[in-house]
Amino acid sequence: MGQNKTSRTALVFIFITVFIDVIGLGIIIPVAPKLISQLTHVGLSDAARYGGWLFMIYAAMQFLFAPVIGNLSDRFGRRPVLILSLLVLSLDYAITGLAPTIAWLFVARFLSGMAGASYTTASAYIADVTPPEKRAASFGLIGAAFGLGFMFGPPLGGILGDIWVRLPFFVSAALAMANAAFGFFVLAESLSKEKRRRFELWRANPFGALLALRRFPYVLGLCGVIVLMRIAHDSSPATWTYYTMLKYHWTTAQVGYSLMAIGVVTTVSYGGLTRLVIPRIGEVRSVYAGLAGGALAFVGFAFASEGWMMYGWMLLFALVSLAMPAMSAIMSKGVGPTEQGELQGAIASVGSLTSIGAPVVMSQLFAYFTGPQAPVYFPGAAFLAASLCLVLAALVFARVKPQPVNKPADPQGAVEQQT
């Protein structure tokens, strides 16, 4: 009973950690343009250029530091790494709130990218405290926290930003500090000392982490599926606002409502759908269902003739929530208990590397097919490309044929994983 209580407390802490991380990212959406304009004394158009570079810095730092943080957690334990990451995140928000020049924002984004990579340790913590058969549902908590944070982040940023443009960052700093204190006094360590391993620099970089995964060929193959999924995912943040404003003439308020709706759908689907569906149909079928639902939803987004239809396609898009938790569970079974942090770090690095380039590609695709040089006017080009990426991801997943390679002596487990 004590162990179950400890696990529940740990999962609550992980949920809150990711939730605060995403709120901190979400509040930037409505207030960042105004803050950048104030610091650079330029209009919103030029401020957007700075915003793009700030996003790239954030993604690049996550790419570089996710495997470092994951490997550090394999060496020193999950608890100290998580708490330190939250303290750095609190410092990042404080710097942003106090920033007198644009250079300070770049420093803050540098720190937030490093600290934001803590979700790799959060995933490893979940793998530590959750039995293999329940990991998919527990990994779904991270998705639920992301959706909930995105649901509250942008509206909260807008409300606080109307009072003072810097206030949202100080609020986020306080939340991160409070969560660090909660972890310090309540969170127990999940990785026993006998399961820890040496910190090796060659494994603690994004390329070294992927090279280390060559020992598990199918896990490395599944990283290709993640790349395609992330490219598809990044089409939404890169083009959603421009697409809906151009095609449906939505106001900023209407765009905000639609983003909140996506947050609600994401929270419900990750928090409930994953727990109901994945245990019943299995992880492999859940991946296929998630990819199929996402592919169809993106087609719907691309061709929707009326704005209200976008809300209808969001419901089908909810199926995407099945894919990533199931993928994380499958991959976590492919490595040993001493390598969970390294695995999650490699997964995060793959996703972050994709996020450096994917938004640029998708936004340029949107710009090209809505510009005068386009062979055909088609604002939904990026969404259609996202759908094709998910179809290709399903084909790659089918070819890899996942198997639980960390337990080769368990033929029954292998049979269960295939079904």
- Report pLDDT digits (tens) over 221-239: 787 888 899 889 877 777 7
**More confident position, 174 or 198:** 174
> Is residue 193 in some structural domain?
no
Q: Is residue 237 part of a domain?
A: yes
Tokens of 397: 């997943």
Higher-pLDDT residue of 7 and 329 is 329
Mean pLDDT of 371-378: 85
Residues 6+ apart with CB under 8 A from 318: 265, 266, 268, 269, 273, 293
Inform me whether the pLDDT recorded for 345 exceeds 90: no
The mean of the pLDDT values for the chain is 76
pLDDT (mean) for 176-195: 75
Is 196 part of any domain? no
Query: Mind listing the pLDDT tens digit for each residue in 119-160?
Result: 667 777 777 777 776 766 677 777 777 777 777 777 777 677
Give Cβ neighbours of residue 265 (< 8 Å, ≥ 6 apart): 147, 314, 315, 317, 318
CB neighbours of 239 closer than 8 A, spacing ≥ 6? 362, 363, 365, 366, 382, 383
In this predicted structure, the answer to whether residue 296 has a pLDDT above a threshold of 70 is yes
Q: Could you give the percent of the chain with pLDDT greater than 70? A: 73
**Model confidence at 387: pLDDT above 90:** yes
- The structural domain count of the chain equals 1
14 lies in some domain: yes
pLDDT at 385: 95
Domain carrying residue 99:
2-187+203-418
- With a cut of 50, say whether residue 395 has pLDDT above it: yes
CB 209 within 8 A of CB 346: yes
The lowest-confidence range among 157-161, 172-176, 205-209, 328-332 is: 205-209
Tell me what the mean pLDDT of segment 236-253 comes to: 77
Distance CA 129, CA 355 (A): 29
Its pTM stands at 0.63
> Looking at the domain assignment, is residue 331 inside a domain?
yes
Q: The tokens 């959750």 sit on which residue?
A: 130
Give me the pLDDT at residue 196, please.
67
pLDDT at position 364: 75
**Residue 101 falls inside a structural domain:** yes
Grade residue 373 by pLDDT with cuts at 50, 70 and 90: confident
In a domain, 129, yes or no: yes
Q: Residue 250: left if φ>0, alpha if ψ -120 to 50, beta else—which one?
A: beta
Please enumerate in sequence order all residues whose Cβ is within 8 A of that of 332, keeping only pairs 6 or more positions apart, or say none.
Answer: 127, 132, 135, 340, 343
Dihedral of alpha carbons 309, 315, 319, 320, sign? positive
What pLDDT, on the 0 to 100 scale, is given for residue 355? 73
414 or 26: which leads in pLDDT:
26
Q: Give percent of the chain above pLDDT 90.
A: 12
Residue 136: what pLDDT? 66
Has residue 48 got a pLDDT over 60?
A: no
Neighbours of 64 (CB within 10 A): 17
CATH number of the domain at 6, please: 1.20.1250.20
pLDDT (mean) for 73-80: 77
Question: What mean pLDDT is predicted for residues 248-271?
Answer: 77
Residue 192 in any domain: the answer is no
Least confident span in 17-21, 295-299, 399-403? 399-403
pLDDT at 72 over 50: yes
pLDDT of residue 405 exceeding 50, the answer is no
